[in-house]
Homo-oligomer: A and B are copies of this chain.
């Protein structure tokens, strides 16, 4: 299938560049810290966030550091989420989690280090020709990653564990914990590409939709997926008493919601006037990763 080949090619491009960026640290930082950061950053993963950014922004100067920073921020959040004090997960992407291999101390510092390195990468990548747009994109990423976005969503998530409340709370948490950084990937790319206000409006809707659906599909895979394919333990959410979409709506209705969100996403993308076949297929991939 051509899309999957294209997906692999683009994923490989992102991974090569992540590896090159890490290479710049080699020998300059403590070895266990380096290995721990590299272990999680190059542990596979779908690379959805950098891919969305690159599809939106194209190959203009500054796109790559933005894309790499998004993946570093995403990876740091996974390392900290998996910690014994947090979700206490032992497997991720088919491999033992960071702290299982390097211990809690190095895992905490590898997370801190990757978040900081994301900003160093961004600061190193400021282009001369369109610095204003780049700094605006950087601001979008920073806010999405922070306490008003991902960190805030995670804080609400750990506070609500085992205490299932209304669907609004669930949606509000997902929107920040997972949705914010996915939205930022699209919007930062769109700002870089100098899209019009009208286009940004539809892309905002598009990115909010796929951010939401991404989390719902993740919840579905936790129930229906098998560990050898998802790369992590399944059944974790119910084990941890985590509030999820399928837990609220049941499987059937949740699948229907995903389908609706998929069609809405395509509609928004179409209305935004962006014509990108790969992005259309990528949207389908995000909405139903069971390819």
Contacts and interface: CB of A to CB of B under 8 A. Distances in A.
Interface of A: 25, 28-30, 32-34, 37, 76, 80, 83-86, 104-106, 108-109, 111-113, 115-117, 119-120, 123-124, 126, 131, 135, 138-139, 142-143, 145-148, 151-152, 154-156, 158-159
B25 A105 contact: no
Nearest to A123: B139
Nearest to A76: B112
A154 B109 contact: yes
Closest 9 CB pairs of A and B: A85-B104, A116-B146, A33-B155, A113-B147, A105-B158, A30-B155, A29-B147, A113-B151, A29-B152
Contacts of A32: 155, 159
B29 A155 contact: yes
B152 A30 contact: yes
Contact of A155 (B106, B115, B117): B106
A260 to B, nearest CB: 29
A34 B145 CA distance: 16
19 contacts: A25-B147, A25-B148, A29-B148, A30-B159, A32-B155, A32-B159, A34-B147, A84-B85, A85-B105, A105-B155, A109-B151, A109-B155, A113-B151, A115-B116, A116-B151, A119-B119, A123-B135, A123-B138, A123-B142
Nearest to A73: B116
Contacts of A117: 146-147
Contacts of A145: 116
Nearest to A24: B148
B30 A116 contact: no
Contacts of A155: 29-30, 32-33, 105-106, 109, 113
Given A29-B152, A108-B86, A115-B112, A142 B126 contact: no
Query: Which of A34, A76, A147, A152 gathers the greatest number of chain B CB atoms within 10 Å?
Result: A147
